[in-house]
A and B are shown apart, each in its own frame.
Chain A
Amino acid sequence: MTVLQEPVQAAVWQALNHYAFLDAVFLAERLYAEVRSEDALYLLATCYYRSGKPYKAYRLLKAHSCSTPQVRFLLAKCCVELSKLAEGEQVLIGGVLNKQKSQDDIITEFGDSASFTLSLLGHIYCKTDRVAKGAECFQRSLTLNPFLWSPFQNLCHLGEKPDPDQVFRLSSLQNSLAPPPPPISPAQNPSHRLDTALMETPQDTLELNRLNLESSNGKLTSDLSVSYIDSSLISPETGSLLGNTVSMASAGSLLAKQNKPKSGRSLLGGPAALSPLTPSFGILPLPLEPSPGDPTYLQNYSATMETQSTAPSKKSVSRISQSKSVFSQSGNSRDVLPIPFNQSQTSAAHTSGSPQVLSPSMSGPPNVQPRRSSRLFTSASSTAKENSKKLKMKFPTKIPNRKTKCKSAKTSNSSNLNESLDILRLDPSLSLPDTKIPQYQRAAADSVMALLRGTGPWLPGAVLVQLQRSHQHPDFAPPQHYNTGWVLTHIGRAYFELAGYTQAERLFSEVRRIESYRVEGMEIYSTTLWHLQKDVALSALSKDLTDMDKNCPEAWCVAGNCFSLQREHDIAIKFFQRAIQVDPGFAYAYTLLGHEFVLTEELDRALACFRNAIRVNNRHYNAWYGLGMIYYKQEKFNLAEIHFKKALSINPQSSVLLCHIGVVQHALKKSDAALETLNRAIGIDPKNPLCKFHRASILFANDKYKAALQELEELKQIVPKESLVYFLIGKVYKKLGQTHLALMNFSWAMDLDPKGANNQIKEAIDKRYLPEDEAAEVDDSQDSSG
């Protein structure tokens, strides 16, 4: 007995969409046992993957020949997840006889998913230390699909400086937004590039197509690609005020979902979730009965009619509200920017065979009418029978314009479709001629592009530059974006890297307030707190994070920092090691562990840790700095300078690094170069006491007593309670022969540091900055000061 595949597949997707992974896996396993087709295999593997078991999917797929690109992509994804990088690479690009496929081959082979494939490939390349190729892949991926954020971010991490204005442009999409051609084979048509951005799982559409074929019973033989556009979209004010929304829903998907609106509603339409807007939607005119005489309507929505004529009108009201509520619910979505692919792949939360939705959330006063009307225009690009085997994408999307807060959320097909249906019915005048669609699509896409371009200033490097330029809060982010964890974390990190710990702390605590669930960047926060010696805040943070998520390395880094601050170094080491255990690819954990080993004087192990950090991420400048520190301690100044310079080349704005280089240069007897370096450091950060102190010391060592004295006087203004400063001043006066002033300063130094905790440092200073023959003298002075 053969089971009809499609209903089972539909059931599996429905289960997946509702996070019922056990059911989905069970059904998919049964289906696969029954038919053993490649589609079923893919479905089963997808179920495994989405239920968080990539190794299952990996082993399953590995045992079978994977011919279709989608299966190979999933296999590669699993390989990467299981860190079998070489195998993943082989799966993606391995040709015959070690000949690798070129990127063009990949693009033709993977078609619409090529951008994601290239992004994955770039990831593999970067992990295997082939940065140039990786960067190239990311670039290609971005040109194919400028909606992708993660390749862009990765490019930035690689040290490339992609220009957001260049990257997030639609020029590459020009033809893609051209009117949908007579859709004979939409999958092959470049015009669907735009769709890929919003694309989710191709098999969805595949399945939908099948369903389409099935349920339409041959009625929809011709392709339906007439779209409806809300006329109010045309008006510029509304356009700018409100999110333009593109919804590309297909008759096929309508049909696909027609068997499940009920469950969708019951899940999504909780009354508690109604947004303020809901009422207004509730009172919207109910669906107009389609006029039989309207040919367009008929043509496009013959399928719809099948569904809707059976559904009572009441239902559609509730559907409206339900779809609204979905959006309002998702208002706190974590990521400012859509990273559609990641989400659909990694988080079960965004499953659904359905559309990625960028939805406007209400930041302004409810301005219902235009908002509603501008929400959607729908291009129904449906499918032709003959290519049901090919991938076709239909993605209802909504793209807000810049001013609206955007977030990525996904709703189930049903809600989207219903929504689009509602709009369509609400406004019978909607239907515009086909030819106008592209402009609106482009306008909508443009707004997304503008949004993405706007992210440029928030990128780590850019924030740094901005901060340096203005020495104040960057004001470039629009307020609704500014107050999100992502932006604040970036700015906080930038302050941290400029050693502006207090500002960083303020920002991070704001992040904690807004998004208490955010773990990214918390390791930086904890280090900030460590620098500021705020042990109470640090232990509170540590407790909170470890309670929340024991599987993220950040939480354990925070815990380690907490114990490090308590001087419980052994425990701290354990926690940092746990962080590494949780995620061996987390470079910062290695670095922190290295610092901890330095504190416990286990330099060899510390070296190994820092090297590991560099191995994981060779642009992790903290680790280069750590290595430099160790070499400095071991008095291998040459090596130290090389490592510090490497760190500086990654983070050229850091005054701390410059300061260290200066000290090392001085140790190498290159005093002039050292002074120059320190001048640069002070140029970057005029208030850095460490730089000034070292400059003063070097000046003093070079017998420029006046300059040194002036420097120290300035320094006294910045750090008035530092005994070392007075100590040095004392010595300068001694050199200048003003003994009483010298003695006065020495005794101040004594008063500020009565226990002589810094005596070691003083000795070190003496050794380093004084010529040999004066050593005896120094001893005298120290005796007098001690």
Chain B
Amino acid sequence: MNVIDHVRDMAAAGLHSNVRIMSSLLLTMSNNNPELLSPTQKYQLLVYHADSIFHDKEYRNAACKYSMALQQKKVLSKTSKVRTSTGGAASNIQAQSLPSEIEVKYKIAECYTILKLDKDAIAVLDGIPSRQRTPKINMMLANLYRKAGQERSAVTSYKEVLRHCPLALDAIIGLLSLSVKGAEVASMTMDVIQSIPNLDWLSVWIKAYAFIHAGDNQRAINTICSLEKKSLLRDNVDLLVSLADVYFRAGDTKNAILKFEQAQMLDPYLIKGMDVYGYLMAREGHLEDVEVLGGRLFNISDQHAEPWVISGCHSFYSKRYSRALYLGAKAIQLNSNSVQALLLKGAALRNMGRVQEAIIHFREAMRLAPCRLDCYEGLIDCYLASNGIREAMGMANNIYKTLGANAQTLTILATVCLEDPVTQEKAKTLLDKALAQRPDYTKAVVKKAELLSREQKHEEGIALLRNALANQSDCVLHRMLGDFLVAVNDYQKDENFDLTLE
């Protein structure tokens, strides 16, 4: 047993810090005396050394060391070619115990990904012949491709993963997010579903995520609910978070908050999706809860964007915009894909008057989450803040066309129309349309009431608000009703103001 075997055993035993010191010493020895270690041994040593550095989270260093190892490997293969003709079995055995080249490349790619050098990572992985790619490599490659916008390559890679592992659900989600048809994805997993008992829900699950990514919120909600009803999948946190998220996208804040709350009660260490939860609660004015939630998540991890976003939301809604800006920036730094962080930063910038910068952030958020309305709303607010009614109008029309005519898009369009004195009438018809679709949509009611109060049609406004209040109790509406009543000198106003205080 030579020294390399000892190092290998240590590495296998997970004594990385020890390996690091030892291998460093040995490598220097070998550099000073190339005869001391054979090329194979040196390659091994380099890999172990790089591994230990990787474990110390010095990724750039590790990547460099891995590259050196690869270099060494190339030398090795050249010499071994000569040797195979002479050597025979012994070298084969040795070759088997060597760390594989592909694994090293994967490690390099991992380092690059962590260092956010996506292009380099793709280049490294691309260098692996597609035959030799393991599912792991394909998965990483697919994620990288998707991030880089190379959708076609991403789809192929994901499919490759699925071919090997039909239950790779993240790959399925990836495929669906690349707008591959649900049926096509399902067909790839069909064999497994049929052969394994108790997996019949999987096709429903795929369907649900297909709806989510297709933006069909209503049906997505129904499908997930039907999944949840199956007692076996009851109280699954991931499902709950997905459900809450869809509720949120569909504009159903109440249900979204309920589901998020339930999810985080079931799993107090839950991080995913909590940024949206925090944002929703902050928007609804439960600032204390937001603060508590943020503190709790910081205790779980400060390496995720979510806790930063949550405390950013808290700062934002308590009107400390520069702090919110900082926290948002920090969150983006941790996870450049966090839509919520981008929105937070954008909103903070907008409220601080740096509209152009804000627009950049909202655009980025829009690119990442084309289905989320609040990205568009933020952007439109930015345009309106910088007097760009025409841009805002264009944007609103755009949303209206792409996302279809539902109450939310109609209201957004109407909001823009309200800004322009010329289009007041259009705003009114739009709001009426929105209210016809969803009579309880608070935003539309508020806008309509604003319009009516501007037109001095107090009686109509009162009727509208009273109507809306018959079905829901909302303090904003009560306050508006109170204002209207004051306007018409109704002495019973007390009542409504009292109710708002509640």
- If A96-B252, A129-B473, A615-B499 touch, whether A65 touches B228 (CB-CB below 8 Å) is yes
- Contact of A100 (CB < 8 Å), options: B471, B494, B495: B471
Pair count A-B, CB < 8 A: 86
| Complex alpha-carbon distance, A130 and B44, angstroms | 77
Residues in A with CB closer than 8 Å to B333 are none
B469 touches A130 (CB 8 A): yes
> Is B337's beta carbon under 8 Å from chain A?
no
B498 touches A87 (CB 8 A): no
| Complex alpha-carbon distance, A598 and B301, angstroms | 57
B499 touches A38 (CB 8 A): no
A65 touches B262 (CB 8 A): yes
Chain B positions 413 through 442: 1 when the CB is less than 8 Å from some CB of chain A, otherwise 0: 000000000000000000000000010110
> Is A514's beta carbon under 8 Å from chain B?
no
Chain B positions 435 through 478: 1 when the CB is less than 8 Å from some CB of chain A, otherwise 0: 00010110000000000000000000000000001110100000
- For window 108-154 of B, CB contacts with A under 8 Å fall at none
Residues in B with CB closer than 8 Å to A639 are 491
B317 vs chain A, min Cβ distance (A): 20
Most buried by A among B234, B469, B501, B502: B234
Chain A positions 113 through 155: 1 when the CB is less than 8 Å from some CB of chain B, otherwise 0: 0000000000000001110110000000000000000000000
A38 touches B498 (CB 8 A): no
> Is B370's beta carbon under 8 Å from chain A?
no
Residues in A with CB closer than 8 Å to B252 are 96-98
A615 touches B234 (CB 8 A): no
> Is A469's beta carbon under 8 Å from chain B?
no
B491 touches A133 (CB 8 A): no
| Complex alpha-carbon distance, A37 and B231, angstroms | 8
Residues in B with CB closer than 8 Å to A614 are 494-495, 498
> Is A618's beta carbon under 8 Å from chain B?
yes
A618 touches B495 (CB 8 A): yes
Residues in B with CB closer than 8 Å to A65 are 228, 234-235, 240, 262
In the complex formed, the residue of B with least CB distance to A96 is B221
B6 vs chain A, min Cβ distance (A): 48
Residues in A with CB closer than 8 Å to B254 are 86, 90, 94, 98
- For window 190-225 of B, CB contacts with A under 8 Å fall at 217-218, 221-222, 225
Residues in B with CB closer than 8 Å to A642 are 491-492
B266 touches A133 (CB 8 A): no
| Complex alpha-carbon distance, A651 and B171, angstroms | 70
> Is B250's beta carbon under 8 Å from chain A?
yes
| Complex alpha-carbon distance, A90 and B258, angstroms | 9
A64 touches B262 (CB 8 A): yes
- Contact of A87 (CB < 8 Å), options: B258, B266, B473, B492: B258
> Is A67's beta carbon under 8 Å from chain B?
yes
B231 touches A38 (CB 8 A): yes
B481 vs chain A, min Cβ distance (A): 11
> Is A63's beta carbon under 8 Å from chain B?
yes
| Complex alpha-carbon distance, A64 and B251, angstroms | 23
| Complex alpha-carbon distance, A614 and B440, angstroms | 27
Residues in A with CB closer than 8 Å to B247 are 96-97
> Is B265's beta carbon under 8 Å from chain A?
yes
B221 vs chain A, min Cβ distance (A): 5
- For window 585-612 of A, CB contacts with B under 8 Å fall at 611-612
B213 vs chain A, min Cβ distance (A): 19
A472 vs chain B, min Cβ distance (A): 38
> Is A704's beta carbon under 8 Å from chain B?
no
- Contact of B494 (CB < 8 Å), options: A63, A97, A129, A611: A611
- For window 630-678 of A, CB contacts with B under 8 Å fall at 638-639, 642, 646
> Is B255's beta carbon under 8 Å from chain A?
yes
- Contact of B441 (CB < 8 Å), options: A38, A98, A618, A646: A98
> Is B364's beta carbon under 8 Å from chain A?
no
| Complex alpha-carbon distance, A5 and B31, angstroms | 72
- If A65-B262, A96-B255, A615-B502 touch, whether A133 touches B471 (CB-CB below 8 Å) is yes
B217 vs chain A, min Cβ distance (A): 8
A622 vs chain B, min Cβ distance (A): 16
> Is B229's beta carbon under 8 Å from chain A?
yes
B466 vs chain A, min Cβ distance (A): 10
> Is A62's beta carbon under 8 Å from chain B?
yes
- For window 389-426 of A, CB contacts with B under 8 Å fall at none
A664 vs chain B, min Cβ distance (A): 14
A130 touches B470 (CB 8 A): yes
B470 touches A132 (CB 8 A): yes
> Is B101's beta carbon under 8 Å from chain A?
no
| Complex alpha-carbon distance, A62 and B258, angstroms | 8
Residues in A with CB closer than 8 Å to B495 are 614-615, 618
B274 vs chain A, min Cβ distance (A): 16
- If A128-B473, A132-B470 touch, whether A612 touches B235 (CB-CB below 8 Å) is no
- If A97-B252, A98-B440 touch, whether A86 touches B262 (CB-CB below 8 Å) is no
Residues in B with CB closer than 8 Å to A87 are 258
A678 vs chain B, min Cβ distance (A): 24
Residues in A with CB closer than 8 Å to B498 are 611-612, 614-615
A133 touches B470 (CB 8 A): yes
- Contact of B222 (CB < 8 Å), options: A86, A94, A96, A618: A96
B308 vs chain A, min Cβ distance (A): 26
B250 touches A64 (CB 8 A): no
| Complex alpha-carbon distance, A503 and B247, angstroms | 60
| Complex alpha-carbon distance, A612 and B225, angstroms | 41
| Complex alpha-carbon distance, A292 and B266, angstroms | 57
| Complex alpha-carbon distance, A377 and B164, angstroms | 70
Residues in B with CB closer than 8 Å to A615 are 495, 498-499, 501-502
- Contact of B266 (CB < 8 Å), options: A64, A99, A611: A64
Chain B positions 7 through 38: 1 when the CB is less than 8 Å from some CB of chain A, otherwise 0: 00000000000000000000000000000000
Residues in A with CB closer than 8 Å to B228 are 65, 67
Residues in B with CB closer than 8 Å to A85 are 473
A47 vs chain B, min Cβ distance (A): 20
> Is B483's beta carbon under 8 Å from chain A?
no
| Complex alpha-carbon distance, A324 and B72, angstroms | 97
Residues in B with CB closer than 8 Å to A98 are 251-252, 254, 438, 440-441
> Is B261's beta carbon under 8 Å from chain A?
yes
| Complex alpha-carbon distance, A132 and B470, angstroms | 8
Chain A positions 93 through 108: 1 when the CB is less than 8 Å from some CB of chain B, otherwise 0: 0101111100000000
B150 vs chain A, min Cβ distance (A): 36
- If A64-B235, A67-B234, A87-B258 touch, whether A130 touches B473 (CB-CB below 8 Å) is yes
B14 vs chain A, min Cβ distance (A): 36
| Complex alpha-carbon distance, A96 and B440, angstroms | 13
Residues in A with CB closer than 8 Å to B262 are 62-65
Residues in B with CB closer than 8 Å to A133 are 470-471
In the complex formed, the residue of B with least CB distance to A643 is B491
B136 vs chain A, min Cβ distance (A): 34
B261 touches A62 (CB 8 A): yes
Most buried by B among A96, A97, A129, A614: A97
| Complex alpha-carbon distance, A128 and B468, angstroms | 13
A83 vs chain B, min Cβ distance (A): 10
Residues in A with CB closer than 8 Å to B441 are 98
In the complex formed, the residue of B with least CB distance to A611 is B498
- If A62-B261, A96-B252 touch, whether A130 touches B221 (CB-CB below 8 Å) is no
| Complex alpha-carbon distance, A493 and B419, angstroms | 58
A-B contacts, 21 of them at CB < 8 A, read: A62-B265, A65-B234, A67-B228, A67-B234, A86-B473, A90-B254, A90-B255, A90-B258, A96-B255, A97-B252, A98-B438, A98-B440, A100-B440, A130-B469, A130-B473, A132-B470, A612-B498, A615-B495, A615-B502, A618-B495, A642-B491
What is B's interface to A at a CB cutoff of 8 Å? 217-218, 221-222, 225, 228-229, 231, 234-235, 240, 247, 250-252, 254-255, 258, 261-262, 265-266, 438, 440-441, 469-471, 473, 491-492, 494-495, 498-499, 501-502
Known contacts A90-B255, A98-B440, A615-B502; 8 additional CB pairs below 8 A are A62-B262, A63-B265, A64-B235, A96-B250, A97-B251, A97-B252, A97-B438, A615-B499
In the A-B complex, the 10 residue pairs with the closest CB atoms = A63-B265, A128-B473, A615-B498, A97-B252, A642-B491, A96-B221, A611-B498, A65-B234, A98-B440, A97-B250
